[in-house]
Structure 1
Protein backbone atom coordinates (compact mmCIF):
# COMPACT_ATOMS: atom_id res chain seq x y z
CA UNK A 1 0.00 0.00 0.00
CA UNK A 2 2.83 2.35 0.93
CA UNK A 3 4.60 1.52 -2.33
CA UNK A 4 1.45 2.29 -4.29
CA UNK A 5 0.94 5.62 -2.52
CA UNK A 6 4.60 6.43 -3.01
CA UNK A 7 4.33 5.71 -6.71
CA UNK A 8 1.29 7.99 -7.01
CA UNK A 9 3.13 10.76 -5.20
CA UNK A 10 6.16 10.32 -7.45
CA UNK A 11 3.97 10.54 -10.55
CA UNK A 12 2.28 13.70 -9.31
CA UNK A 13 5.62 15.32 -8.42
CA UNK A 14 7.06 14.45 -11.83
CA UNK A 15 4.01 15.90 -13.60
CA UNK A 16 4.15 19.07 -11.51
CA UNK A 17 7.88 19.40 -12.15
CA UNK A 18 7.41 19.32 -15.91
CA UNK A 19 4.55 21.81 -15.67
CA UNK A 20 2.19 19.55 -17.63
CA UNK A 21 -1.33 20.96 -17.25
CA UNK A 22 -4.51 19.13 -16.40
CA UNK A 23 -6.67 20.05 -19.38
CA UNK A 24 -10.37 20.43 -18.62
CA UNK A 25 -13.05 20.76 -21.27
CA UNK A 26 -15.73 23.41 -20.66
CA UNK A 27 -18.85 23.31 -22.86
CA UNK A 28 -19.77 26.80 -24.02
CA UNK A 29 -23.40 26.03 -23.11
CA UNK A 30 -22.59 26.22 -19.39
CA UNK A 31 -23.79 29.30 -17.52
CA UNK A 32 -23.67 30.57 -13.97
CA UNK A 33 -23.54 29.29 -11.34
CA UNK A 34 -21.74 26.42 -13.10
CA UNK A 35 -19.24 28.62 -14.96
CA UNK A 36 -18.96 32.29 -15.88
CA UNK A 37 -17.41 32.73 -19.33
CA UNK A 38 -15.78 36.07 -20.11
CA UNK A 39 -14.18 36.58 -23.53
CA UNK A 40 -14.23 32.83 -24.03
CA UNK A 41 -12.50 32.02 -20.73
CA UNK A 42 -13.96 30.68 -17.47
CA UNK A 43 -13.47 33.02 -14.50
CA UNK A 44 -15.69 31.72 -11.70
CA UNK A 45 -18.49 29.29 -10.88
CA UNK A 46 -19.12 26.03 -9.05
CA UNK A 47 -17.50 23.75 -11.62
CA UNK A 48 -14.66 26.20 -12.29
CA UNK A 49 -13.82 26.30 -8.57
CA UNK A 50 -14.01 22.50 -8.26
CA UNK A 51 -11.76 21.92 -11.27
CA UNK A 52 -9.26 24.57 -10.19
CA UNK A 53 -9.07 23.15 -6.66
CA UNK A 54 -8.65 19.63 -8.01
CA UNK A 55 -5.74 20.62 -10.26
CA UNK A 56 -4.07 22.55 -7.44
CA UNK A 57 -4.34 19.63 -5.04
CA UNK A 58 -2.79 17.17 -7.49
CA UNK A 59 0.01 19.62 -8.25
CA UNK A 60 -0.87 20.43 -11.85
CA UNK A 61 -1.72 23.78 -13.45
CA UNK A 62 -5.33 23.89 -14.66
CA UNK A 63 -5.94 24.53 -18.36
CA UNK A 64 -9.48 25.16 -19.61
CA UNK A 65 -10.62 24.51 -23.17
CA UNK A 66 -13.99 26.10 -23.99
CA UNK A 67 -15.71 24.20 -26.80
CA UNK A 68 -19.18 23.80 -28.31
CA UNK A 69 -20.93 20.94 -26.56
CA UNK A 70 -21.10 18.93 -29.79
CA UNK A 71 -17.28 18.92 -29.96
CA UNK A 72 -16.61 17.92 -26.35
CA UNK A 73 -16.45 14.14 -26.74
CA UNK A 74 -14.49 14.39 -29.97
CA UNK A 75 -11.87 16.50 -28.16
CA UNK A 76 -11.65 13.84 -25.44
CA UNK A 77 -11.24 11.05 -27.99
CA UNK A 78 -8.47 12.88 -29.83
CA UNK A 79 -6.51 13.71 -26.68
CA UNK A 80 -7.01 17.46 -26.99
CA UNK A 81 -8.28 17.56 -23.39
CA UNK A 82 -7.83 15.26 -20.41
CA UNK A 83 -10.94 15.57 -18.28
CA UNK A 84 -14.63 16.38 -18.39
CA UNK A 85 -16.76 17.14 -15.36
CA UNK A 86 -20.52 17.25 -14.86
CA UNK A 87 -21.27 14.30 -17.12
CA UNK A 88 -23.28 11.09 -16.77
CA UNK A 89 -22.34 7.67 -18.09
CA UNK A 90 -25.84 7.35 -19.54
CA UNK A 91 -25.05 10.32 -21.81
CA UNK A 92 -22.22 8.29 -23.38
CA UNK A 93 -23.60 4.76 -23.90
CA UNK A 94 -21.00 3.81 -26.52
CA UNK A 95 -17.96 5.12 -24.68
CA UNK A 96 -14.78 3.05 -25.00
CA UNK A 97 -12.79 1.62 -22.10
CA UNK A 98 -10.16 4.34 -22.50
CA UNK A 99 -11.75 6.47 -19.75
CA UNK A 100 -12.04 6.25 -15.98
CA UNK A 101 -14.99 7.69 -14.05
CA UNK A 102 -15.06 9.36 -10.66
CA UNK A 103 -17.66 8.60 -8.02
CA UNK A 104 -20.97 10.45 -8.54
CA UNK A 105 -20.46 14.02 -7.32
CA UNK A 106 -23.82 15.66 -8.05
CA UNK A 107 -27.29 14.88 -9.32
CA UNK A 108 -28.55 16.42 -12.55
CA UNK A 109 -32.26 17.16 -12.14
CA UNK A 110 -34.11 18.15 -15.30
CA UNK A 111 -36.90 20.45 -14.10
CA UNK A 112 -39.90 21.65 -16.06
CA UNK A 113 -40.37 25.27 -15.03
CA UNK A 114 -42.85 28.06 -15.67
CA UNK A 115 -43.36 31.74 -14.90
CA UNK A 116 -46.65 30.92 -13.19
CA UNK A 117 -47.19 28.80 -10.10
CA UNK A 118 -50.02 26.49 -11.18
CA UNK A 119 -52.64 25.23 -8.77
CA UNK A 120 -51.89 21.65 -9.78
CA UNK A 121 -48.77 19.82 -10.84
CA UNK A 122 -47.96 19.49 -14.54
CA UNK A 123 -47.46 16.24 -16.43
CA UNK A 124 -45.37 16.75 -19.56
CA UNK A 125 -47.22 14.08 -21.54
CA UNK A 126 -50.51 15.93 -20.97
CA UNK A 127 -49.33 19.30 -22.25
CA UNK A 128 -51.00 20.63 -25.39
CA UNK A 129 -48.91 21.13 -28.53
CA UNK A 130 -46.39 23.93 -27.87
CA UNK A 131 -42.73 24.91 -27.82
CA UNK A 132 -40.52 24.14 -24.81
CA UNK A 133 -37.39 26.08 -23.91
CA UNK A 134 -34.30 23.86 -24.26
CA UNK A 135 -30.52 24.14 -24.63
CA UNK A 136 -28.91 23.48 -28.01
CA UNK A 137 -27.42 19.94 -28.24
CA UNK A 138 -28.77 18.90 -24.82
CA UNK A 139 -30.71 15.63 -24.66
CA UNK A 140 -33.95 15.31 -22.69
CA UNK A 141 -34.86 11.61 -22.60
CA UNK A 142 -38.18 12.15 -20.83
CA UNK A 143 -39.36 14.66 -23.44
CA UNK A 144 -37.78 13.06 -26.52
CA UNK A 145 -40.81 10.86 -27.38
CA UNK A 146 -42.96 14.01 -27.32
CA UNK A 147 -40.46 15.81 -29.55
CA UNK A 148 -40.37 12.84 -31.94
CA UNK A 149 -44.14 12.83 -32.40
CA UNK A 150 -44.35 16.60 -32.76
CA UNK A 151 -46.47 16.96 -29.64
CA UNK A 152 -43.85 19.31 -28.23
CA UNK A 153 -41.23 21.35 -30.07
CA UNK A 154 -37.76 22.39 -28.95
CA UNK A 155 -36.96 26.09 -28.81
CA UNK A 156 -33.18 25.97 -28.42
CA UNK A 157 -30.99 28.62 -26.86
CA UNK A 158 -27.19 28.60 -26.67
CA UNK A 159 -27.02 28.15 -22.88
CA UNK A 160 -29.22 27.51 -19.88
CA UNK A 161 -29.39 31.13 -18.75
CA UNK A 162 -30.67 32.25 -22.15
CA UNK A 163 -33.43 29.62 -21.88
CA UNK A 164 -34.60 31.16 -18.61
CA UNK A 165 -34.38 34.70 -19.97
CA UNK A 166 -36.62 33.73 -22.88
CA UNK A 167 -39.08 32.06 -20.50
CA UNK A 168 -39.22 35.17 -18.33
CA UNK A 169 -39.80 37.28 -21.44
CA UNK A 170 -42.79 35.14 -22.39
CA UNK A 171 -41.33 33.43 -25.48
CA UNK A 172 -42.84 30.16 -24.27
CA UNK A 173 -44.79 28.96 -21.26
CA UNK A 174 -42.50 26.14 -20.13
CA UNK A 175 -38.77 25.42 -20.21
CA UNK A 176 -36.32 22.83 -18.91
CA UNK A 177 -33.60 23.81 -16.44
CA UNK A 178 -31.26 22.31 -13.90
CA UNK A 179 -31.69 23.23 -10.23
CA UNK A 180 -28.47 25.26 -9.91
CA UNK A 181 -29.22 27.62 -12.77
CA UNK A 182 -32.81 28.07 -11.64
CA UNK A 183 -31.69 28.95 -8.10
CA UNK A 184 -29.06 31.37 -9.43
CA UNK A 185 -31.49 33.04 -11.83
CA UNK A 186 -34.18 33.46 -9.16
CA UNK A 187 -31.77 35.19 -6.78
CA UNK A 188 -32.06 38.41 -8.78
CA UNK A 189 -35.86 38.36 -9.05
CA UNK A 190 -38.49 39.53 -6.59
CA UNK A 191 -40.36 36.60 -4.97
CA UNK A 192 -43.51 37.27 -6.99
CA UNK A 193 -41.61 37.07 -10.29
CA UNK A 194 -39.44 34.03 -9.63
CA UNK A 195 -39.65 31.07 -11.98
CA UNK A 196 -41.34 27.99 -10.54
CA UNK A 197 -40.69 24.24 -10.82
CA UNK A 198 -43.84 22.49 -12.02
CA UNK A 199 -42.43 18.99 -12.56
CA UNK A 200 -39.24 16.98 -12.08
CA UNK A 201 -38.61 15.24 -15.38
CA UNK A 202 -35.71 13.06 -14.27
CA UNK A 203 -32.60 12.94 -12.09
CA UNK A 204 -29.21 11.55 -13.05
CA UNK A 205 -26.00 11.15 -11.07
CA UNK A 206 -23.12 13.05 -12.66
CA UNK A 207 -19.41 13.18 -12.01
CA UNK A 208 -16.14 13.53 -13.88
CA UNK A 209 -14.26 11.24 -16.23
CA UNK A 210 -10.73 11.40 -17.61
CA UNK A 211 -8.60 9.70 -20.19
CA UNK A 212 -6.88 6.56 -18.90
CA UNK A 213 -3.51 7.90 -19.99
CA UNK A 214 -0.29 6.70 -18.27
CA UNK A 215 0.97 10.28 -18.50
CA UNK A 216 -1.79 11.37 -16.11
CA UNK A 217 -1.88 10.63 -12.35
CA UNK A 218 -5.29 9.02 -12.83
CA UNK A 219 -5.65 7.36 -9.42
CA UNK A 220 -4.39 10.43 -7.60
CA UNK A 221 -6.99 12.57 -9.41
CA UNK A 222 -9.79 10.14 -8.53
CA UNK A 223 -8.70 9.93 -4.88
CA UNK A 224 -8.53 13.70 -4.65
CA UNK A 225 -12.06 14.08 -6.02
CA UNK A 226 -13.28 11.50 -3.49
CA UNK A 227 -11.60 13.43 -0.70
CA UNK A 228 -13.11 16.72 -1.89
CA UNK A 229 -16.57 15.13 -1.85
CA UNK A 230 -16.23 13.36 1.49
CA UNK A 231 -14.71 16.38 3.25
CA UNK A 232 -17.60 18.62 2.22
CA UNK A 233 -15.41 20.89 0.08
CA UNK A 234 -17.57 20.42 -3.01
CA UNK A 235 -20.80 21.21 -1.12
CA UNK A 236 -19.11 24.25 0.44
CA UNK A 237 -18.32 25.55 -3.04
CA UNK A 238 -21.97 25.10 -4.02
CA UNK A 239 -23.05 27.09 -0.95
CA UNK A 240 -20.84 29.99 -2.00
CA UNK A 241 -22.96 30.47 -5.11
CA UNK A 242 -26.39 29.12 -4.20
CA UNK A 243 -26.54 29.79 -0.46
CA UNK A 244 -28.52 27.83 2.13
CA UNK A 245 -28.43 24.07 1.66
CA UNK A 246 -26.75 22.91 -1.55
CA UNK A 247 -28.81 21.25 -4.27
CA UNK A 248 -27.29 17.91 -3.26
CA UNK A 249 -29.06 18.09 0.08
CA UNK A 250 -32.36 19.40 -1.31
CA UNK A 251 -32.61 16.68 -3.95
CA UNK A 252 -31.21 13.73 -2.04
CA UNK A 253 -28.03 13.65 -4.10
CA UNK A 254 -25.09 11.45 -3.16
Structure 2
Protein backbone atom coordinates (compact mmCIF):
# COMPACT_ATOMS: atom_id res chain seq x y z
CA UNK A 1 0.00 0.00 0.00
CA UNK A 2 2.84 2.40 0.89
CA UNK A 3 4.45 1.71 -2.51
CA UNK A 4 1.13 2.34 -4.26
CA UNK A 5 0.62 5.67 -2.49
CA UNK A 6 4.19 6.67 -3.31
CA UNK A 7 3.75 5.71 -6.93
CA UNK A 8 0.53 7.71 -7.23
CA UNK A 9 2.19 10.71 -5.60
CA UNK A 10 5.10 10.42 -8.02
CA UNK A 11 2.72 10.30 -10.99
CA UNK A 12 0.82 13.35 -9.64
CA UNK A 13 4.02 15.34 -9.20
CA UNK A 14 5.20 14.35 -12.67
CA UNK A 15 1.94 15.54 -14.21
CA UNK A 16 2.13 18.84 -12.31
CA UNK A 17 5.75 19.34 -13.30
CA UNK A 18 4.89 18.67 -16.93
CA UNK A 19 2.20 21.36 -17.04
CA UNK A 20 3.26 24.61 -18.72
CA UNK A 21 3.60 27.76 -16.63
CA UNK A 22 0.68 30.12 -16.16
CA UNK A 23 1.57 33.27 -18.07
CA UNK A 24 0.36 36.51 -16.47
CA UNK A 25 0.14 39.95 -18.06
CA UNK A 26 1.97 42.65 -16.07
CA UNK A 27 1.44 46.13 -17.57
CA UNK A 28 4.50 48.30 -17.09
CA UNK A 29 2.23 51.20 -16.06
CA UNK A 30 1.41 49.49 -12.75
CA UNK A 31 3.18 50.80 -9.65
CA UNK A 32 3.11 50.04 -5.95
CA UNK A 33 1.15 48.86 -4.14
CA UNK A 34 -0.06 46.91 -7.20
CA UNK A 35 3.41 45.81 -8.33
CA UNK A 36 7.01 46.77 -7.74
CA UNK A 37 9.40 46.27 -10.64
CA UNK A 38 13.13 45.79 -10.16
CA UNK A 39 15.29 45.57 -13.27
CA UNK A 40 12.16 45.03 -15.31
CA UNK A 41 10.86 42.14 -13.20
CA UNK A 42 7.99 42.14 -10.66
CA UNK A 43 9.08 41.41 -7.10
CA UNK A 44 6.17 42.28 -4.80
CA UNK A 45 2.81 44.02 -4.60
CA UNK A 46 -0.90 43.25 -4.30
CA UNK A 47 -1.37 41.89 -7.81
CA UNK A 48 1.98 40.09 -7.87
CA UNK A 49 1.13 38.31 -4.61
CA UNK A 50 -2.35 37.37 -5.85
CA UNK A 51 -1.00 35.97 -9.11
CA UNK A 52 1.82 34.06 -7.43
CA UNK A 53 -0.56 32.54 -4.88
CA UNK A 54 -3.02 31.65 -7.65
CA UNK A 55 -0.39 29.77 -9.67
CA UNK A 56 0.93 28.02 -6.56
CA UNK A 57 -2.55 26.82 -5.56
CA UNK A 58 -3.36 25.73 -9.12
CA UNK A 59 -0.12 23.75 -9.04
CA UNK A 60 1.78 25.32 -11.94
CA UNK A 61 4.72 27.73 -12.17
CA UNK A 62 3.98 31.44 -12.57
CA UNK A 63 5.51 33.33 -15.48
CA UNK A 64 5.23 37.12 -15.55
CA UNK A 65 5.26 39.04 -18.83
CA UNK A 66 5.90 42.76 -18.38
CA UNK A 67 4.35 44.62 -21.30
CA UNK A 68 3.27 48.11 -22.30
CA UNK A 69 -0.39 48.45 -21.40
CA UNK A 70 -1.32 48.93 -25.05
CA UNK A 71 0.23 45.54 -25.90
CA UNK A 72 -1.57 43.46 -23.28
CA UNK A 73 -4.77 42.69 -25.18
CA UNK A 74 -2.85 41.90 -28.37
CA UNK A 75 -0.66 39.47 -26.40
CA UNK A 76 -3.79 37.76 -25.07
CA UNK A 77 -5.28 37.50 -28.56
CA UNK A 78 -2.08 35.97 -29.93
CA UNK A 79 -1.86 33.35 -27.16
CA UNK A 80 1.24 34.87 -25.55
CA UNK A 81 -0.56 35.42 -22.20
CA UNK A 82 -3.00 33.20 -20.32
CA UNK A 83 -4.37 35.43 -17.54
CA UNK A 84 -4.97 39.14 -17.16
CA UNK A 85 -6.07 40.55 -13.82
CA UNK A 86 -7.23 43.94 -12.59
CA UNK A 87 -9.56 44.43 -15.56
CA UNK A 88 -13.24 45.05 -16.21
CA UNK A 89 -15.33 44.04 -19.20
CA UNK A 90 -16.44 47.66 -19.65
CA UNK A 91 -12.79 48.58 -20.31
CA UNK A 92 -12.68 46.16 -23.25
CA UNK A 93 -15.85 46.80 -25.28
CA UNK A 94 -14.32 45.46 -28.49
CA UNK A 95 -12.60 42.47 -26.96
CA UNK A 96 -11.98 39.70 -29.48
CA UNK A 97 -11.07 36.13 -28.63
CA UNK A 98 -12.45 33.43 -26.39
CA UNK A 99 -12.09 34.29 -22.70
CA UNK A 100 -13.78 33.41 -19.44
CA UNK A 101 -14.09 36.04 -16.72
CA UNK A 102 -13.76 35.48 -13.00
CA UNK A 103 -16.19 36.85 -10.49
CA UNK A 104 -15.38 40.40 -9.29
CA UNK A 105 -12.33 40.18 -7.04
CA UNK A 106 -11.25 43.74 -6.31
CA UNK A 107 -12.82 47.15 -5.91
CA UNK A 108 -11.23 50.06 -7.76
CA UNK A 109 -11.93 53.67 -6.82
CA UNK A 110 -10.50 56.46 -8.99
CA UNK A 111 -10.12 59.79 -7.24
CA UNK A 112 -9.29 63.34 -8.16
CA UNK A 113 -6.39 64.17 -5.84
CA UNK A 114 -4.78 67.43 -4.71
CA UNK A 115 -2.19 68.69 -2.28
CA UNK A 116 -3.17 70.01 1.13
CA UNK A 117 -4.32 73.61 1.10
CA UNK A 118 -6.69 73.03 -1.80
CA UNK A 119 -10.46 72.68 -1.28
CA UNK A 120 -11.29 69.32 0.26
CA UNK A 121 -14.19 68.73 -2.15
CA UNK A 122 -14.52 69.81 -5.78
CA UNK A 123 -16.52 68.98 -8.89
CA UNK A 124 -14.32 68.27 -11.88
CA UNK A 125 -16.73 69.98 -14.27
CA UNK A 126 -16.36 73.27 -12.37
CA UNK A 127 -12.55 73.38 -12.54
CA UNK A 128 -11.04 76.21 -14.60
CA UNK A 129 -8.96 75.38 -17.67
CA UNK A 130 -5.82 73.54 -16.57
CA UNK A 131 -3.70 70.41 -16.92
CA UNK A 132 -4.20 67.45 -14.60
CA UNK A 133 -2.00 64.43 -13.98
CA UNK A 134 -2.96 61.22 -15.78
CA UNK A 135 -1.39 57.88 -16.68
CA UNK A 136 -0.36 57.32 -20.28
CA UNK A 137 -2.83 55.05 -22.07
CA UNK A 138 -5.44 55.09 -19.28
CA UNK A 139 -9.00 56.14 -20.05
CA UNK A 140 -11.06 58.27 -17.67
CA UNK A 141 -14.70 58.15 -18.83
CA UNK A 142 -15.99 60.77 -16.41
CA UNK A 143 -13.29 63.24 -17.44
CA UNK A 144 -13.27 62.52 -21.17
CA UNK A 145 -15.93 65.16 -22.03
CA UNK A 146 -13.77 67.75 -20.25
CA UNK A 147 -10.70 66.60 -22.19
CA UNK A 148 -12.67 66.73 -25.44
CA UNK A 149 -13.85 70.28 -24.78
CA UNK A 150 -10.39 71.47 -23.81
CA UNK A 151 -11.48 72.52 -20.32
CA UNK A 152 -8.96 70.04 -18.92
CA UNK A 153 -5.76 68.79 -20.54
CA UNK A 154 -4.00 65.53 -19.79
CA UNK A 155 -0.43 65.57 -18.57
CA UNK A 156 0.57 61.94 -18.89
CA UNK A 157 3.20 60.09 -16.88
CA UNK A 158 4.34 56.50 -17.40
CA UNK A 159 2.74 55.13 -14.22
CA UNK A 160 0.52 56.11 -11.32
CA UNK A 161 3.39 56.70 -8.91
CA UNK A 162 5.02 59.22 -11.25
CA UNK A 163 1.69 61.06 -11.60
CA UNK A 164 1.52 61.61 -7.83
CA UNK A 165 5.20 62.52 -7.57
CA UNK A 166 4.63 65.28 -10.13
CA UNK A 167 1.62 66.47 -8.12
CA UNK A 168 3.77 66.65 -4.98
CA UNK A 169 6.36 68.62 -6.95
CA UNK A 170 3.72 71.17 -7.95
CA UNK A 171 3.61 70.37 -11.67
CA UNK A 172 -0.18 70.66 -11.55
CA UNK A 173 -2.91 71.24 -8.97
CA UNK A 174 -4.86 68.01 -9.50
CA UNK A 175 -4.20 64.45 -10.59
CA UNK A 176 -6.16 61.22 -10.99
CA UNK A 177 -5.19 58.30 -8.75
CA UNK A 178 -6.64 55.02 -7.66
CA UNK A 179 -7.31 54.66 -3.94
CA UNK A 180 -4.60 52.03 -3.40
CA UNK A 181 -1.75 54.12 -4.76
CA UNK A 182 -2.90 57.17 -2.83
CA UNK A 183 -3.03 55.16 0.42
CA UNK A 184 0.37 53.59 -0.28
CA UNK A 185 2.04 56.94 -0.90
CA UNK A 186 0.39 58.69 2.04
CA UNK A 187 1.70 56.02 4.42
CA UNK A 188 5.19 57.22 3.50
CA UNK A 189 4.62 60.96 3.67
CA UNK A 190 4.75 63.26 6.71
CA UNK A 191 1.36 64.52 7.82
CA UNK A 192 1.78 67.96 6.28
CA UNK A 193 2.56 66.50 2.83
CA UNK A 194 -0.15 63.85 2.59
CA UNK A 195 -2.31 64.13 -0.53
CA UNK A 196 -6.08 64.27 -0.33
CA UNK A 197 -8.86 62.84 -2.44
CA UNK A 198 -11.23 65.67 -3.36
CA UNK A 199 -13.69 63.87 -5.67
CA UNK A 200 -14.65 60.30 -6.54
CA UNK A 201 -14.48 59.92 -10.32
CA UNK A 202 -15.35 56.26 -10.76
CA UNK A 203 -15.93 53.13 -8.70
CA UNK A 204 -15.82 49.71 -10.29
CA UNK A 205 -15.45 46.03 -9.52
CA UNK A 206 -12.58 44.39 -11.36
CA UNK A 207 -11.43 40.81 -11.78
CA UNK A 208 -9.40 38.52 -14.00
CA UNK A 209 -10.06 36.87 -17.33
CA UNK A 210 -8.52 33.69 -18.67
CA UNK A 211 -7.81 32.61 -22.22
CA UNK A 212 -10.19 29.71 -22.96
CA UNK A 213 -7.70 27.21 -24.31
CA UNK A 214 -7.46 23.42 -23.75
CA UNK A 215 -3.86 23.88 -22.61
CA UNK A 216 -4.89 26.32 -19.85
CA UNK A 217 -6.48 24.90 -16.65
CA UNK A 218 -9.31 27.41 -16.86
CA UNK A 219 -11.72 25.87 -14.36
CA UNK A 220 -8.98 25.25 -11.77
CA UNK A 221 -7.97 28.88 -12.10
CA UNK A 222 -11.50 30.18 -11.67
CA UNK A 223 -12.23 27.88 -8.73
CA UNK A 224 -9.00 28.93 -7.04
CA UNK A 225 -9.76 32.64 -7.50
CA UNK A 226 -13.21 32.09 -5.99
CA UNK A 227 -11.69 30.29 -3.01
CA UNK A 228 -9.09 33.04 -2.53
CA UNK A 229 -11.83 35.65 -2.54
CA UNK A 230 -14.26 33.82 -0.26
CA UNK A 231 -11.56 32.87 2.26
CA UNK A 232 -10.48 36.49 2.70
CA UNK A 233 -7.00 35.84 1.30
CA UNK A 234 -7.29 38.59 -1.32
CA UNK A 235 -8.45 41.17 1.24
CA UNK A 236 -5.59 40.12 3.54
CA UNK A 237 -3.08 40.77 0.74
CA UNK A 238 -4.57 44.23 0.12
CA UNK A 239 -4.47 45.01 3.84
CA UNK A 240 -0.81 44.00 4.00
CA UNK A 241 0.14 46.77 1.57
CA UNK A 242 -2.42 49.50 2.23
CA UNK A 243 -3.31 49.09 5.88
CA UNK A 244 -6.96 48.50 5.05
CA UNK A 245 -9.08 46.05 3.07
CA UNK A 246 -10.33 46.85 -0.39
CA UNK A 247 -12.79 49.48 0.81
CA UNK A 248 -16.07 48.41 -0.69
CA UNK A 249 -18.70 51.12 -1.06
- For the superposition of Structure 1 and Structure 2, which TM-score range results when normalised by the shorter chain? over 0.9
**Is the 1:117–1:198 Cα contact (8 Å) retained in structure 2?**
no
2:3 aligned residue: none
Distance 1:15 1:238, change over 3 A: farther
Distance 1:75 1:13, change over 3 A: farther
Post-superposition shift, 1:251? 3.3
**Is the 2:136–2:157 Cα contact (8 Å) retained in structure 1?**
yes
1:162 aligned residue: 162
Q: Deviations over 1:184-232 (max 9, x none)?
A: 0111111121000000001111000010001111011001000000000
2:86 aligned residue: 86
1:70 aligned residue: 70
Q: Which structure is larger by alpha-carbon Rg, 1 or 2?
A: 2
1:65-214 map, 5 Å: 65-96=65-96, 98-119=98-119, 121-214=121-214
* Secondary structure, counterpart of 2:239 in structure 1: helix
For structure 2, which runs of at least 5 residues remain unmatched after alignment? Answer: 1-11
The root-mean-square deviation of aligned C-alpha atoms, in Å, is 1.4
Post-superposition shift, 1:14? 7.6
Post-superposition shift, 1:119? 4.4
Distance 1:81 1:15, change over 3 A: farther
* Secondary structure, counterpart of 2:171 in structure 1: coil
1:251 aligns with 2:248: yes
2:20 aligned residue: 20
Distance 1:169 1:32, change over 3 A: same
Q: Deviations over 1:28-87 (max 9, x none)?
A: 000000000011100000000000000000001000000000101000000011010000
Q: Equivalents in 2 of 1:251, 1:199: separation in Å?
A: 16
Please, what TM-score do these two structures have when normalized by structure 2?
Answer: 0.92
**Is the 1:131–1:154 Cα contact (8 Å) retained in structure 2?**
yes
Distance 1:20 1:81, change over 3 A: same
Please, what TM-score do these two structures have when normalized by structure 1?
Answer: 0.91
For structure 1, which runs of at least 5 residues remain unmatched after alignment? Answer: 1-11
In the comparison of the two structures, how many residue pairs are matched? 238
**Is the 1:35–1:43 Cα contact (8 Å) retained in structure 2?**
yes
